[in-house]
Amino acid sequence: MISKILIANRGEIACRIIRTARKMGIATVAVYSEADAHALHVEMADEAVLIGPAQASESYLKVDAILEAAKRTGADAIHPGYGFLSENPEFVERVEKAGLIFIGPSAKAIRAMGLKDAAKALMEKANVPVVPGYHGEAQELVVLAGKANEIGFPVLIKARAGGGGKGMRKVDRQEDFPAALSSARREAKASFGDDRVLVEKYVATPRHIEIQVFGDKHGNVVHLFERDCSAQRRHQKVIEEAPAPDMPEDMRAAMGEAAVQAAKAIDYAGAGTVEFIVDASEGLKADRFWFMEMNTRLQVEHPVTELITGLDLVEWQIRVADGEVLPLRQDQLSINGHAVEARIYAEDAEKGFLPAVGRLMHLAFPGGDIRIDAGVRAGDEITPFYDPMIAKVIAHGKTRAEALGKLAGALGRTEIAGTVTNTAFLARLCRDADFAAARLDTGLIDRNIDSLTEQAAAPDAILALAVLAGSGMVPSRNGPAVSVTEIGPFEIWGAPKRPVRLEIHGTEKTFQVERQGAASWRISGEGLAPGGLQLDAVGRTGNDWSFSAGGVMQRCRLVSSSTEVAIFFEGLTYRFGKPQGKRTDDLAAGGDQVISAMPGIIKQVLVAKGQDVKSGEPLVIMEAMKMEMTLSAPRDGVVAEVLVTVGAQVPDGVSLVMLESEADAA
């Protein structure tokens, strides 16, 4: 039996594997980068080994360092989690050559499914239905564009070595094909080291339905039913659920059998997922699904399968890797209820889902029967080096409606301060009329994006309370009494007053706080009614605040730091920034420059000094937190300076391109 597992990963999945290993009585070894020295997975594991600097290429992707860590600690098996080296066949071979057990499929199976074009050809031979398209070797623009015309627009360009939506572009018109191809290739090269692509027919009303398969080393393969991952943006899964809504039994059987055949065709052992694209234009039908790809690893969304089957898929992985026969036969597997999972990310939904960074100064998840899979805790930092996922929130119910209701409620009770998150967006999606009614396809989020990302205006009382907290004139921790030292200097005549500036949805506003009594305050300023708003009976115990506005006593949770005030009230989070003073960059002419939105690497510089540019024209392409971003000209003008070069690592808030000032141009 495996006695000690080294986990070649980090974050949520590393913590997830440690929990199962501990339950099985197996010791664990964590590896970590310098940026993760105090990470949760390091704390949870029995042993931990530093393997390199913050950059993944110098740590979590360093095979030699990982194998050396296994040798030093006496580990006899390695679990790759997902991402990083999990689908790297050379890594599998190195692990096995070192005399260790790889908890996953064989290198041969990974190679068979690693390239989309080869995998589709293999599936065709195994009689698994495949999406119409071009999967050939020729990669010249003229060939690919010609094939796209033959297939008929719209088409999808897909990185053949890709996954997770990387290197994928939808193209609606022939004239857009060259630019989309260039962008897809660039992203594919950066993500997978391979810029070759395939071109497929775009299904107009697509649903993304995948089948969880499991094989052992004795030739047995079963499927653990389906997951629906149609709620996507930029081809990235947002909410996943099991089973698929409205799935007919004949289609479930057909898809399950196709997935099993796919796994058997490559002698698959371990956990894998066979992904299908489904034409839902006329409902779900057994002849309207096609193979897309197979992920030869555990999926991020595996918890929904665990909840409807009552199984631990990580335990199955370990047992299969150790040579055991699959614990159950196909006829012993069944579906119990419905499960839904949402991925909480540090990202700004109101700004195009721009990834965010920051220290988690407050983090609280709901209790009860909600499952939380997290790799962070309060005080941890979301850095630009890795995927910005904070946690997965998973709910289970007897019906889909019950599970969705539980998930929406849990998201509303999740409290995160220190960085912007997508929790409000996720909660709105759970309650979206189309999503709730299971009118699903992969374009649902894009169609409803305005309502799903609308800015929620804070109630006047919450705004006033944020201003009070931002003033520093706060009540004592255990009641309404207020000390002079907490208030600050009194005015010689009259009540103590203090001006306060807060940033609300990117706009800085000015307020005034005036003390009316021991626990009463009047707040006035922009956005509040003339004369201001009176807060009475203000008190707090820790982060729990109480106050009366207009005779109504209310309660909320408030967390304040040097950079923001976050208030959790009635299932919503309201964030107010504390202006830190103008940066040098901000003091320049407002529309004269392009500024990095966050730390990242410059991938392309598209302009040169002296070049005329139009408003909205792409100037720089940078990559940050696994996402490619295009930074555009803020106005028409002439490039005065290009301040970066390709490959440069830039911090947040620096100038990348300067335009001649409009005064100079005139």
Rounded Cα distance, 42 and 582, in Å: 38
Is residue 241 within 8 Å of residue 212, measured between CB atoms?
no
169 assigned to active site: no
If you write DSSP's letter for every residue of 240-257 in order, what string do you get? Answer: EEES-TT--HHHHHHHHH
State the residue for tokens 């990202």. Answer: 347
Query: HSE-up of 537 (CA within 13 Å, CB side)?
Result: 10
H-type helices in 115-204, by residue range? Answer: 116-125, 141-151, 177-192
Cα–Cα distances (Å) from 482 to 226, 473, 537, 540, in that order, read: 58, 8, 11, 11
Q: Which two tokens stand for residue 110?
A: 């990974």
CA angle in degrees (0–180, nearest 5) for 488-527-489:
10
Q: Please give the sequence-ordered ranges of beta strands (E in DSSP) within 444-551, or none if there are none.
A: 497-504, 507-517, 520-525, 533-541, 544-549
Cis previous bond, 384, omega within 30: no
Q: Which residues pair with 159 in a beta bridge?
A: 197
Cis previous bond, 327, omega within 30: no
15: left (phi over 0), alpha (psi -120 to 50) or beta: alpha
Active-site hit among 297, 371, 498, 522 = 297
Q: Please give the sequence-ordered ranges of beta strands (E in DSSP) within 234-337, or none if there are none.
A: 236-242, 270-279, 289-295
Q: Spell out the residues 6+ positions from residue 308 whose beta carbon is closer than 8 angstroms to its own.
A: 225, 242, 243, 335, 336, 337, 338, 339, 396
Rounded Cα distance, 228 and 234, in Å: 16
Cα–Cα distances (Å) from 166 to 160, 236, 280, 485, in that order, read: 10, 9, 24, 54
From 195, 152, 147, 146, select the one nearest 172 (Cα to Cα).
152
From 265, 130, 105, select the one nearest 198 (Cα to Cα).
130
Q: Which two tokens stand for residue 451?
A: 């309502």
Q: Spell out the residues 6+ positions from residue 592 whose beta carbon is closer than 8 angstroms to its own.
A: 634, 637, 640, 658, 659, 660, 661, 662
State the residue for tokens 């939808």. Answer: 170
Q: Spell out the residues 6+ positions from residue 552 whose beta carbon is closer than 8 angstroms to its own.
A: none
From 453, 594, 565, 579, select the one nearest 506 (Cα to Cα).
579
Rounded Cα distance, 70 and 33, in Å: 15
From 297, 301, 299, 295, select the one nearest 119 (Cα to Cα).
295
Compute, in degrees rounded to 10, the torsion defined by CA atoms 614, 615, 621, 623. Answer: 180
Q: Please give the sequence-ordered ranges of beta strands (E in DSSP) within 505-578, or none if there are none.
A: 507-517, 520-525, 533-541, 544-549, 552-560, 564-569, 572-577
Rounded Cα distance, 493 and 516, in Å: 14
For residue 383, how many other CB atoms are within 10 A of its CB? 17
Residue type, 558: L
Q: What's 36's DSSP letter?
A: G
Rounded Cα distance, 465 and 143, in Å: 62
Would you name the residues annotated as active-site residues? 297
